[in-house]
Structure 1
């Protein structure tokens, strides 16, 4: 099911709230078992998760890729049939390919979606303008920076750099417009000192200042500031995320303080703390500023002073605990991120293992559609796949499910091959062919929803769940309701699963009466000639009167061989079963498996 990015983003934000809450809870519960450094490392995990809504969901299939015992090394490219036409459909049974479908209203109203997008993007634009204003205002003042000529300060900076193993050039400047030392410059770093510093502070206090700012440089904190600023702008509306980012700034300062304290004697800790206090009343900060200040306000200063007062170098035991807790959080994160990322496509992937897989480039057949084509050669036991990522994703089966709905009803004797008639209840539908009594053949030909809904209702949820479990049909989820679970709702299946299940159906490997399967094979037969037989079923997902998902599954028998296939396409509109069938048939023609009679 195709959904706007704004909805995916909101769903991801909702799920991220729980994950971020978990990270913050871990930091609180294990604050005495985690070193300051590893608490800061947890913030980086948090930052990475905030990128999830903007990362292609293919990135999160590492679990699938690591489980697959094959690689898609054999590649075939097709360049023709980029523009397909309805001529293909005119030569076969069009009734089976038209796939009559009724719209379901599953998405939020367009007005609400548009309103959120306007408000969200307006907030981003406003904050970007504010950031640009303060950046421009600050960097204009750099014109008036003066180089430091005091040889003692220059020598002290050089000594501090040597202590920390820093060899890069870092400029040292003076400014009359600041009252607290700062580090700026991602590519050309500068430490800017207030003019009053040399007169008001001792050489030892200046040393503490240099060590602090150089630790920021060593930890790449200017770059981290840019990342935090960008995330703050994007998630301006999310209070929990903003709080977490604020805590990350504090953790950054605590890590910096710890790094400085590690190089000092214990009797110097107090002096270092007093140096911070001296700048507390003078510190100021620009919003979203990509730079570091020695002190960032009294609230943060209080927490830093407490940290300095109780500081001890991490023991070996603490380091071991920190590694263990951090590693555990990383493992949980790796398992959780795919679950958070799935709303991006509104699909769920399944694991697939086969050693006989060939990747094909069939994009010319699909045009602007997101789609996949899976072909299984029964005799050779090989798969040919276009767009393997999409082939592994589960989505609503829509009318392709009707094949199995009928199979369940036949098995339960709800209907029989000879007596499959269901009486129309008089409800008026938008298709004239639906407004009459139906048999299995007519209902399959005209894809009559009410017929199969009636079969499922008669069968009952309990038996239906048993049948789905018996077939391992996709996610086996009936929670969407008896009439709608297969219509852009809870039940989902992937194209590869469709092919695997249809293969078992064709081979009569399913634990169902062979007579019932033969009845359904006749019901889905589309066309035949002296050289081939084509069978299949289409499906269309229509939401808010727009066709957003198109299926065509089936098999073709030719020269004593059978090929099972599934095609799925998705788009904001104009993606239906007929178009999916047209694409599939064009591909089969190109492969020499289908010939117009």
Structure 2
């Protein structure tokens, strides 16, 4: 019986992978002198479009893309009251000038302010993280890298596929959070809003040797469909490329434009 179940499971996995539409987007990465992949989920068609099946399942640090879930957990547990509660800057000068100020959740999300989310992590604690990571089926759920660092090039790892699955659940509000928490997070995630579409997204950057890893994840709510996307880029950490941060977003925008989205 166990062998039969294992066989059925393997067939399901095989079908899931073979049902994906593979499309070559490598030229968009090459023109930025980067390696990486683009992955999309068409909500209406229930179809994945992936640049590489192996890359789709490859896990790396989520870096600041974890701020989406981190914000949900912080609000739900009361680690922070709402998006307007201010946490005072500790006066320590950090590498990003925008971080050197008092922050509320809105600004901390926008600026990817590491110290702010590390303070939230101390308030949340390991037990609550373990519970929510399991309930949300987020990544490998490994926080052994440290309470304030596990998502920063450390023990927490996630694949583009898992990122997309999480974003779909967020959109559908099928995660263990209140309507109030969903409403706040969806509001602070807004990056662009036009009469034609609404874009919610988050960038991430893990710059730990030997590789720089950049993310751009989110979803576009158009009039007739919703498109979920994940872009992940790589470069050797000793390779100087000032455009690396911007390239994540530019590659995504160029591919979406080529796909006529939105």
Alpha-carbon shift at residue 577 of structure 1 (Å): 4.5
The alignment's TM-score, normalised by the length of structure 2, stands at: 0.89
Alignment match, 1:387? 52
Deviations 1:498-530 (A, max 9, x none): 000011001111121122112111111111111
Indicate whether 1:366 and 2:34 are aligned. no
Indicate whether 1:559 and 2:227 are aligned. no
Indicate whether 1:476 and 2:141 are aligned. yes
Deviations 1:433-472 (A, max 9, x none): 1111100110011110011111111111111111111111
Alignment match, 1:549? 213
Alignment match, 2:188? 523
Deviations 1:135-167 (A, max 9, x none): xxxxxxxxxxxxxxxxxxxxxxxxxxxxxxxxx
Cα distance in structure 2, aligned partners of 1:65 and 1:374: 23
Alignment match, 1:400? 65
Deviations 1:328-354 (A, max 9, x none): xxxxxxxxxxxxxxxxxxxxxxxxx36
Cα distance in structure 2, aligned partners of 1:547 and 1:533: 32
Cα distance in structure 2, aligned partners of 1:410 and 1:515: 9
Alignment match, 1:502? 167
Q: Is the 8 A contact 2:83 2:104 kept in 1?
A: no
Alpha-carbon shift at residue 370 of structure 1 (Å): 2.5
Alpha-carbon shift at residue 532 of structure 1 (Å): 1.1
Q: Is the 8 A contact 2:83 2:184 kept in 1?
A: no
Higher helix share: 1
Q: How many residues align?
A: 248
Do the aligned partners of residues 479 and 366 (structure 1) sit closer, same or farther apart at CA in structure 2, a change above 3 Å counting?
Answer: same
Higher strand share: 2
Indicate whether 1:568 and 2:232 are aligned. yes
Alpha-carbon shift at residue 576 of structure 1 (Å): 4.4
Do the aligned partners of residues 566 and 65 (structure 1) sit closer, same or farther apart at CA in structure 2, a change above 3 Å counting?
Answer: farther
Question: What pairs up with 1:180-579 in 2 under 5 angstroms?
Answer: 353=16, 356-367=19-30, 368-417=33-82, 419-543=84-208, 548-573=212-237, 574=241, 576-579=244-247
**Larger radius of gyration between Structure 1 and Structure 2:** 1
Cα distance in structure 1, aligned partners of 2:127 and 2:244: 31
Deviations 1:340-395 (A, max 9, x none): xxxxxxxxxxxxx3664211111111114321111111111111111111110110
- The CA RMSD measured in Å over matched residues stands at 2.0
Alpha-carbon shift at residue 547 of structure 1 (Å): 6.5
Alpha-carbon shift at residue 418 of structure 1 (Å): 5.3
- Give secondary structure in 1 for the equivalent of 2:199: strand
Alignment match, 2:6? none
Cα distance in structure 2, aligned partners of 1:442 and 1:404: 16
Do the aligned partners of residues 505 and 385 (structure 1) sit closer, same or farther apart at CA in structure 2, a change above 3 Å counting?
Answer: same
The alignment's TM-score, normalised by the length of structure 1, stands at: 0.40
Alpha-carbon shift at residue 420 of structure 1 (Å): 2.6
Deviations 1:98-125 (A, max 9, x none): xxxxxxxxxxxxxxxxxxxxxxxxxxxx
Deviations 1:24-70 (A, max 9, x none): xxxxxxxxxxxxxxxxxxxxxxxxxxxxxxxxxxxxxxxx9876333
